[in-house]
Amino acid sequence: MTTPTSRRTGRPRAVTEQAILDAALLQLDAGGAASVSVRGIAAQVGIAPNALYTYYPNKAAVLRALVERFLGEVNHDRFIDRQLPWRQRVEALALELRTHLVAHPGAVHLLLGGPMDGPNALALREVLSEVLADAGSRPDDAARGSYVLMVYLLGAIALEVAEIHQPDTAPTEPERIATRRAALDTIPAEIYPRTSRTAGTVAKYFTTEQFLWGLQRVLDGLDPHA
């Protein structure tokens, strides 16, 4: 909690916590969450692997700090502006979050891996809660609604990232659709008779448009004046 700005004595630190997080993010972007390693981070910043334990108690703490810093880069500008229509405020936040996470696909895993209870994660929920309150929701509904929004945003981005960016040699888009259709064909027709008819439709939507369409439906459900 307390952050002493200078160390008492002894040898100066060779690197900074930020440099360690930078290295972790680099590894994350390069090879996905599975390829982030203590040894790799240490090599990148130029210290012995075990020296990292002077900065963070263990690997999990490094990843937690990375998630926190990551969320801190999202919470900024125009969502506080109460002049804008509330739906527009949520949409802007949603798109910003999505942009950040799609740019660092491995981070999604980390986000959903642990409890979202860091300061920045809570700040995100608070922002959403305030927007809903401004929209006219009663406090309880605003709080619960902010949870529903978080669920939708993180869930949608998680599924999108899982679709797009599987760790190894990802098949191209047409290949993936073909695979999906083939898989679909193995479903017994007696059980899901309408399957083959709607298969193409189901497979079609994985875009910003789908993301925003879903968001609008969720907002419809949360709109206190609907």
Partner DNA sequence: ACCTGAACACCGTTCAAGT
Q: C-beta of 46: minimal distance to a copy of itself in Å?
A: 28
Give residue 147's region: left, alpha or beta (phi > 0; psi -120 to 50): alpha
71 alpha carbon, distance to own chain's centre:
8
> Rg of the Cα trace of the chain?
22
Query: Quick one: which of 1, 3, 5, 7 contacts DNA (CB under 7 A)?
Result: 7
CB atoms within 10 A of CB 147: 12
Structure tokens at 31: 């090879």
Binding map of a copy of itself across residues 49-78, x = CB under 8 A, - = no contact:
-----------x------------------
Nearer residue to a copy of itself within complex by CB, 93 or 199: 199
Q: With CB cut-offs between 5 and 8 Å by kind, which of DNA, a copy of itself, none does residue 198 bind?
A: a copy of itself
Q: C-beta of 2: minimal distance to DNA in Å?
A: 14
d(CA 169, CA 101): 20
Query: Quick one: which of 176, 189, 208, 225 contacts a copy of itself (CB under 8 A)?
Result: 176
Binding map of a copy of itself across residues 135-174, x = CB under 8 A, - = no contact:
----xx-xxxxxxx-xxx-xxx-xx--xx--x-x------
Could you tell me the maximum CA-CA distance found in the chain, to the nearest angstrom?
75
Which residues are CB-contacts of 220 (< 8 A; sequence separation ≥ 6)? 226
Q: In a 10 Å sphere around its CB, with 0-12 CB exposed, 13-18 middle and 19+ buried, how is residue 92 labelled?
A: middle
Structure tokens at 167: 């760790």
Residues in the site for a copy of itself, rule: CB under 8 A?
60, 80, 109, 112-119, 122-123, 125-127, 129-130, 133, 139-140, 142-148, 150-152, 154-156, 158-159, 162-163, 166, 168, 176, 179-180, 183-184, 186-187, 191-192, 194-195, 198-199, 201-202, 204-205, 210, 213-214, 216-222, 226
